[in-house]
């Protein structure tokens, strides 16, 4: 029997969803079995406001939510369900754990997704909000996956392989930019290559992912390549790498090439 393909993505801020699995969403978007559920913990109201950008501290959260929704329209495959939890940006670790987990659990229990994607313990950038959201999502997945109900067949963490991280830093240094410091909060960091369980070739849809990313105008100054650097964007978006957090992966097992590989049948 062929099962459905529901993907639930749980992130902290608007634009966290602009990378990681956006290419996979594009690749699966036309599949009638595919359902896409997106959960944002915050509105991103504590993000940086570049000089001259038309937002204030009071309006940035609203601006970033609108940017995110425009981004998915530009991408061409909007979420089937999009939940905004409205937690304080920069304060997710201070939210009582049972409250955070309970909110995520209510959505996950309703959807019973086949695959859940979130942050790993490194948060990709070490951001405390990322780490808190990932840990809560992992805990909820673990409880529900043991209850014998449908779905919840794979839990994945977005990640940057160490070799890719080093290559990115090499490009930054060649362009006269400071390298990412993996010991600093808000800087990218890599994980050992052998931990990567899925690498998706998204080169066919990088233009769609780039169009979406460019809608996050308030935050493009933080880490994105210049808008007209098509080669740089393609280099950054042509692969998606994920750690398989559950079920346990055998050491030395070959990497999968798709979020849902091996789950049909």
Q: Please say whether the beta carbons of 113 and 8 come within 8 A.
A: yes
The alpha-carbon radius of gyration of the chain (Å, integer) is 18
pLDDT for residue 251? 84
- Which pLDDT score is estimated for 227? 65
Per-domain residue ranges of the chain: 5-161+193-246
Report how far residue 136's alpha carbon sits from residue 93's, in angstroms, rounded to the nearest whole number: 10
pLDDT at 175: 85
In this prediction, residue 2 carries a pLDDT of 47
How many Å apart are CA 62 and CA 43, to the nearest integer?
7
- Find out whether 259 and 198 touch, Cβ atoms under 8 Å: yes
pLDDT score, position 216: 96
Predicted pLDDT of residue 225: 66
Determine the Cα–Cα distance for residues 155 and 148; give it in Å rounded to an integer. 16
What is each CA distance from 251 to 103, 231, 261, in whole angstroms? Answer: 34, 35, 18
**Domain 5-161+193-246 maps to which CATH number in 3.40.50.2300, 3.40.50.10320, 1.10.1660.10, 3.30.1330.20?**
3.40.50.10320
* pLDDT reported for residue 3: 64
The tens place of each residue's pLDDT in the chain, 265 residues long, gives 346 799 999 999 999 999 899 999 999 999 999 999 999 999 999 999 999 999 999 999 999 999 999 999 999 999 999 999 999 999 999 999 999 999 999 999 999 999 999 999 999 999 999 999 999 999 999 999 999 899 999 999 999 999 999 998 998 899 898 999 999 999 999 999 999 999 999 999 999 999 999 999 999 887 666 666 778 788 889 999 999 999 999 888 999 999 999 998 5
Biggest CA–CA distance in the chain, Å, is: 56
């Amino acid at each position: 029997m062929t099962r459905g393909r529901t993907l639930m993505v749980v992130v902290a801020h608007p634009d966290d969803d602009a990378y990681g699995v956006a290419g996979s969403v594009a690749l699966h978007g036309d599949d009638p079995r595919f359902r896409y559920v997106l959960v944002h913990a915050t509105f991103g109201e504590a993000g940086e406001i570049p000089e001259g950008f038309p937002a204030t501290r009071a309006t940035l959260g609203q601006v970033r939510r609108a940017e995110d929704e425009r981004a998915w329209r530009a991408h061409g495959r909007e979420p089937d369900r999009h939940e905004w939890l409205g937690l304080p940006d920069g304060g997710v670790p201070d939210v009582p754990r049972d409250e955070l987990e309970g909110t995520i659990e209510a959505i996950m229990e309703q959807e019973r997704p086949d695959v859940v994607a979130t942050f790993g313990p490194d948060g990709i950038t070490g951001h405390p909000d990322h780490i808190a959201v990932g840990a809560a999502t992992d805990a909820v997945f673990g409880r529900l996956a043991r209850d014998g109900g449908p779905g919840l067949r794979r839990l994945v963490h977005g990640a940057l392989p160490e070799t890719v991280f080093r290559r990115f830093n090499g490009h930054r240094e060649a362009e006269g930019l400071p390298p990412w410091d993996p010991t600093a909060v808000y800087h990218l960091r890599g994980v050992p290559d052998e931990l990567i369980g899925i690498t998706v070739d998204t080169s066919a849809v990088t233009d769609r992912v780039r169009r979406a990313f460019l809608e996050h105008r308030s935050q493009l100054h933080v880490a994105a390549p210049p808008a007209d650097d098509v080669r740089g964007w393609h280099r950054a978006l042509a692969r998606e790498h994920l750690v398989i957090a559950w079920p346990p992966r055998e050491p030395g097992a070959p990497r999968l090439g798709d979020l849902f590989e091996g789950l049909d049948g």
